[in-house]
Structure 1
Amino acid sequence: MLLVGHAAWAYVISRSLASVLNVKINPYLVMLLGMVPDADILLQEYIKHRSVTHSMLFWGIVFIPFFIAYRKRSIPYFMAVVQHIMLGDVIVASTNLIWPWRYEIGMGYSALSPLNMAMESIGLGLALLLTIKYDRFIITRNRCNILGLVVILPLLGSMLYLFTANGLLFLDHIIGSNISAKNMIRGSNDMMFVAMILHVSFSILLSISILQGMYALIARIH
């Protein structure tokens, strides 16, 4: 799954859980956590893509202190990370769920396959509906909306690397020979267009949110 889908589904699942558990969440933080496992793409010199940062075992250990300190309030944030592995990465190619032990699972689809594009579109649509219902402050003047920067920056990076020829070469280089970036994002021009629309739509929403946050901050200063 592309970053737009990871972020959108992280919000959808975390927001739904937060409502059931009757706890509050930071929507920007859960979106960021939904993308965090793919940070290993930028750390290819040190760790293999879809290894430690895509391990359920690793994240289970990382969240132990948060489970102890924050109890049920930490569950939506944990699920924001876990959905990246269990949903997005099971659809696209395959992933090692319990690294360092080998247990790979995956459907083997491309990130630009019709199935994955449908899942990303559904995720973004649901995220928009839940935003309107639960987190309408995202599109109002609120200083907290400046935090949208932590989501839009990796999203713009994804657009840069996925939709330019140099980006494809860059991804293929940093991911290495074990997983070809070109194979993972292979697809028709139509699917590439859909992916671009999803990224642009999400970026516009986040840009509006960030601008609203900046307006609120400036108004408070003056």
Structure 2
Amino acid sequence: MAQIGCHVPAVSARLTPVDRIMSRLGANDNIFAAQSTFFVELSETKKILSEATPRSLVILDELGRGTSSYDGVAVAQAVLHHVATHIGCVGFFATHYHSLATEFENHPEIQEKRMQIHVDEKERKVTFLYKLEDGVAEGSFGMHCAAMCGISNRVIERAETAARDWEHTSRLKESLEKAKTGCYIPLGMLSDVGSLLCDRGDVGAKGLDVLLRAIECL
């Protein structure tokens, strides 16, 4: 806030100046340029990946929502891995893709945070407390949101049944279950290991750290 000239509502604050602030927010298409929502998303993301430095501040909100779930989570996973592992800048990455929490659980540059809420399962209501805390959200609470919007219970119950069926037939579900056994190596880490093995040069300290983390996941 201070860097863009805004008042910081605090008695004191410790600031780290950044060389640029880059964000990818919202979901809008560009009809006049014949660009879909996902095209606009990726165009803005490409600019961030090309220009961000270790001294930048990057904010990415719900990346991948403009396409199918599988493509969306794949893009979100790859971008987050590149920003955290290869760019190494300070950033905020907000997402509803809960599998990313498992994918980056042991990543040294990523801290999992969530917004505190109170959930009333009986009434299907969610109260937002607007407080940041450690941890991963228990779920997206889409059915609770539907109930709060006035969608009939009959429709919501059918949606809950469909959601459970899709969850149990999903490959993503299989990956998450495998991760619980401690025998799961994140795809981003596998990619880094593959690059190191194909590189004929010396493996530096960062490369050794990647290899050690991969071994620890076995």
Normalising by the residue count of structure 1, what TM-score does the alignment of the two structures yield?
0.28
Richer in helix (by share): 1
Richer in strand (by share): 2
Larger radius of gyration: 2
Normalising by the residue count of structure 2, what TM-score does the alignment of the two structures yield?
0.28
Q: Greater relative contact order: 1 or 2 (C-alpha under 8 angstroms, separation 6 or more)?
A: 1
